[in-house]
């Protein structure tokens, strides 16, 4: 019973954690079982961690670990497992395997003296995430009223379209950008799809790190520079900015024109004189890497012009131990 009292005291002593850290805890440490460890001294316990979801080549990798915010320690895995001795009490771990996995943050793990606690640790790959390509909208600006046909071939499955997409969208388009489809008037064509993507890595991707307070003015500036009209800008900003402002800091990278084929191919008939595609990938980011800056090209609006914008929120790698 002495032990119980001690553990409860230890539990009450949990120190405060920074907000950024709280958010990163993905609850990947799952308690499996415990067993006595009489070989240890009375005030020492041992954690036995087993990683789930490691690729074969990483089962014996060297990993980096920090316990209770202490110095980085390098530990070699054996068959995806390792043991870690720690004084009886409460401990927190940060573990970095390599760039293929998100860094892992434990909650407070409690251990008693002469006890061995087994944990399964779920890793999460930074590659091949299922991401929604959100709200691509397509505006058509013809010089005269004429019929049109637009087809989109997304890289993943089409999740939502409006008006309803049926092999393509077709109807009449007008110079004021009104689209007439089955007797109804629309301002834009809307589609969404889900596809596989990798986590964003600000170390390797050109882009921008923007604080919450600066998001709106940043987007206004970039969209103006690129040549969005006030209406297009309002559609873009009212869709993305409220979502982005929920985070203290975000990483943003843009994709333009041919680069956007990685999300979907776009076929338009008649062929537009100018077709501009503008996508934004972004994710909450609490790291401090300064990414390489990105140059954007501007729209030329002459003749029959088509503008498409879209984007996706993608988890962003913010490894603290990898520095």
Partner 1 sequence: MKQLFFIASLFVSSLSLAGQSEVEIPYLIPDSIIIDSSLDSTSLLYFNFPNATDLSSLSISYSLDGVQGEHSLVTNQGDLQLEATAGHHELQFFYSSEYYEEYTTINIEAGRRYYYSVYFTSSEMIILTEKPVIYLYPEKEQEVQVNVEPAGEFTFTYPKYNDGWKVLAAPNGKLTIDENTYNYLFWEASDRLTLDEVDLNVGFTVAGSDITRFLEEKLTQSGLNSKERADFITFWGPRMAAHDDVFLQFQFNKECDRYAELEIDPKPDNVYRIYMIWQPVDQLRIAPEAQEIPVMNRDGFTVLEWGGKELPSTKLVRTL
Query: Could you tell me the smallest distance in angstroms from the CB atom of residue 254 to partner 1?
Result: 17
DSSP at 271 = P
Q: Does residue 152 sit in helix, strand or coil?
A: strand
**Closest to partner 1 by CB, 112 or 154:** 112
Positive or negative, the CA dihedral 163, 164, 170, 171 is: negative
Question: 């087993």: which residue's tokens?
Answer: 50
Please give the Cα distance from 170 to 175 (Å, whole number): 16
**Considering only residues 176-195, where is the footprint of partner 1 by CB under 8 A?**
184-188, 190, 192
Query: Could you tell me the smallest distance in angstroms from the CB atom of residue 64 to partner 1?
Result: 20
Query: Could you tell me the smallest distance in angstroms from the CB atom of residue 110 to partner 1?
Result: 5
CA angle 109, 114, 116 (to 5 degrees): 50
**By the rule CB under 8 A, 137 interacts with partner 1:** yes
**Closest to partner 1 by CB, 202 or 283:** 283
Query: Could you tell me the smallest distance in angstroms from the CB atom of residue 321 to partner 1?
Result: 18
Q: What is the phi-psi region of residue 135: left when phi exceeds 0, alpha when psi lies from -120 to 50, beta otherwise?
A: left
- Give the interface segment with partner 1, choosing from 138-146, 259-267, 297-305, 311-319 (CB under 8 A): 311-319
Instruction: Provide the β-strand partners of residue 47.
Output: 84, 117
DSSP at 257 = G
**By the rule CB under 8 A, 151 interacts with partner 1:** no
**By the rule CB under 8 A, 130 interacts with partner 1:** yes
**Closest to partner 1 by CB, 163 or 273:** 163
**Closest to partner 1 by CB, 71 or 184:** 184
Q: How many CB atoms lie within 10 A of CB 29?
A: 21
* Site string (193-232) toward partner 1, x via CB under 8 A: -----------------------x------------xxx-
Pairing of strands 184-186, 146-154: unpaired
**Considering only residues 8-67, where is the footprint of partner 1 by CB under 8 A?**
8, 11, 14, 16-17, 22, 25-31, 33-36
DSSP secondary structure, 66-94, as one string? EETT---EEEE-BTTEEEEEEESEEE-EE
For residue 39, what are the contacts with CB-CB under 8 A and spacing of at least 6?
A: none
**Closest to partner 1 by CB, 26 or 75:** 26
* Chain-centre distance for alpha carbon 250: 10
Omega within 30 of 0 (cis) for the link into 270 = yes
Query: Interface with partner 1 by CB under 8 A: which residues?
Result: 3-4, 7-8, 11, 14, 16-17, 22, 25-31, 33-36, 102, 105-108, 110, 112, 115, 117, 122, 124, 129-132, 134-135, 137, 159-160, 162-164, 184-188, 190, 192, 216, 229-231, 234, 237-239, 241-242, 245, 283, 312-315
């Amino acid at each position: 019973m002495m032990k119980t009292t001690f553990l409860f005291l230890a539990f009450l002593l949990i120190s405060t954690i920074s907000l950024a850290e709280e958010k990163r805890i993905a609850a990947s440490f799952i308690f499996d079982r415990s067993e006595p460890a009489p070989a240890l001294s009375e005030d020492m316990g041992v954690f036995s961690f087993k990683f789930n979801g490691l690729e074969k080549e990483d089962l014996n990798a060297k990993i980096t670990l920090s316990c209770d915010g202490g110095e980085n320690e390098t530990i070699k895995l054996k068959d995806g497992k390792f043991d870690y001795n720690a004084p009886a009490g409460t401990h927190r771990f940060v573990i970095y395997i390599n760039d293929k996995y998100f860094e892992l943050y434990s909650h407070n793990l409690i251990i008693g003296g002469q006890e061995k606690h087994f944990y399964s640790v779920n890793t999460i790959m930074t590659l091949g995430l299922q991401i929604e390509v959100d709200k691509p909208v397509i505006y058509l600006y013809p010089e005269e009223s004429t019929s049109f046909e637009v087809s989109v071939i997304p890289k993943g499955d089409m999740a939502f379209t409006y008006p309803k997409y049926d092999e393509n969208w077709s109807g009449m388009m007008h110079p004021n950008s009104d689209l007439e489809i089955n007797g109804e008037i629309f301002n834009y064509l809307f589609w969404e799809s889900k596809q596989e993507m990798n986590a964003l890595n600000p170390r390797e991707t050109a882009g921008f790190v923007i604080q919450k307070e600066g998001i709106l003015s940043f987007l206004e500036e970039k969209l103006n520079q690129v040549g969005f009209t006030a209406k297009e800008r309002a559609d873009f900003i009212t869709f993305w900015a409220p979502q982005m402002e929920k985070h203290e800091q975000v990483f943003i990278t843009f994709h333009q024109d041919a680069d956007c084929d990685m999300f979907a191919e776009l076929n338009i008939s008649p062929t537009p004189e100018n077709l501009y595609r503008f996508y934004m990938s972004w994710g909450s980011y609490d790291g401090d890497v300064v990414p390489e800056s990105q140059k954007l090209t501007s729209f030329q609006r002459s003749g029959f012009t088509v503008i498409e914008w879209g984007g996706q929120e993608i988890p962003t790698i913010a490894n603290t131990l990898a520095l």
